[in-house]
């Protein structure tokens, strides 16, 4: 076979519909667009969701709440799973790469360690977030939690400023009242 002998497979190509070329073709006159109406005019394009004048589904369906575009989704991993992984691999350091190698996560996932199950060995766990119970359980066994997300790390407690109590309204009114003084009248 040579380059000049190449051709598409049988029925792989189809001739385009030739419209508006006279009545004899069967596609003359209105050129397959029918009589009148927006769809027969040039420049017409139907807007997305238009249902021919019927109330569109996006207006019929009740709306509630919103989608937070900044939401961060975590893949949960329980302590029980970490313990099984540690027993299987004989590792004390659980990293994202180790979890990926054992099919628990994909590397694009953000991981949150949850406190379900029991931990029986000292582990150093690296993840994006930890629940309070999981962190406590890991640290009680003498392990370490390495948090990769800076937002989820514990922030130091901020002292709230002490606000002086304002006196009640009645007390301020009493304090503002001055004893009545006699006014002297100037005679002319």
| Per-residue model confidence (pLDDT) at position 34 | 93
| Residue 143, domain member (yes or no) | yes
**Is residue 127 in a domain?**
yes
| 114 strand-pairing partners | 78
Q: Is residue 120 part of a domain?
A: yes
Spacing of C-alpha 174 from chain mean position: 57
2 in a structural domain: no
- CA angle, corner 18, sides to 15 and 19, nearest 5? 150
Q: pLDDT truncated to tens, each residue of the chain (188 aa)?
A: 899 999 999 999 999 999 999 999 999 999 999 999 999 999 999 999 999 999 999 999 999 999 999 998 999 999 999 999 999 999 899 999 999 999 999 888 899 999 999 999 999 999 999 999 999 999 999 999 999 887 655 555 556 666 666 665 565 555 566 555 555 555 55
Backbone angles phi, psi at 16, to 5 degrees: -70, 155
| DSSP character at residue 25 | G
Among 123, 143, 131, 132, residue whose Cα is nearest residue 82? 123
Distance (Å, whole) CA 154 – CA 131: 11
CATH at residue 102: 3.100.10.10
Q: Work out how many domains the chain is built from and give that number.
A: 1
The reply to whether 165 falls in a domain is: no
Instruction: Examine residue 11 and state whether it is found in any structural domain, yes or no.
Output: no
Q: Which two tokens stand for residue 44?
A: 């017409």
Longest dimension (CA), the chain: 134
Assigned domain for 33 exists: no
Q: What is the span of the domain harbouring residue 107?
A: 77-147
Query: Which pairs from 86-89 meet CB under 8 Å and 24+ separation?
Result: 86/121, 86/123, 87/121
Residue 52 lies in a domain: no
């Amino acid at each position: 076979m040579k380059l000049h002998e190449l051709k598409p497979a049988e029925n792989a190509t189809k001739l385009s519909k030739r419209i508006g070329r006279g009545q004899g073709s069967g596609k003359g006159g209105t050129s397959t667009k029918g009589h009148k109406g927006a769809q027969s005019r040039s420049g017409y394009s139907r807007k997305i969701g238009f249902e021919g004048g019927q109330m569109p589904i996006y207006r019929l369906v009740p709306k509630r709440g919103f989608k937070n575009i900044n939401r961060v989704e975590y893949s949960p991993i329980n302590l029980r799973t970490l313990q099984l992984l540690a027993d299987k691999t004989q590792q004390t350091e659980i990293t994202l790469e180790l979890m990926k190698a054992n099919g628990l996560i994909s590397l694009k996932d953000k991981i949150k360690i949850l406190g379900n199950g029991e931990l029986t060995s000292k582990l150093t766990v690296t993840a994006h977030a930890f629940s309070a119970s999981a962190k406590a359980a890991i640290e009680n066994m003498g392990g370490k939690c390495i948090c990769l997300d800076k937002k989820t790390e514990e922030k130091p407690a901020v002292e709230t400023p002490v606000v002086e109590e304002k006196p009640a309204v009645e007390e301020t009114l009493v304090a503002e009242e001055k004893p009545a003084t006699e006014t002297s009248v100037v005679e002319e």
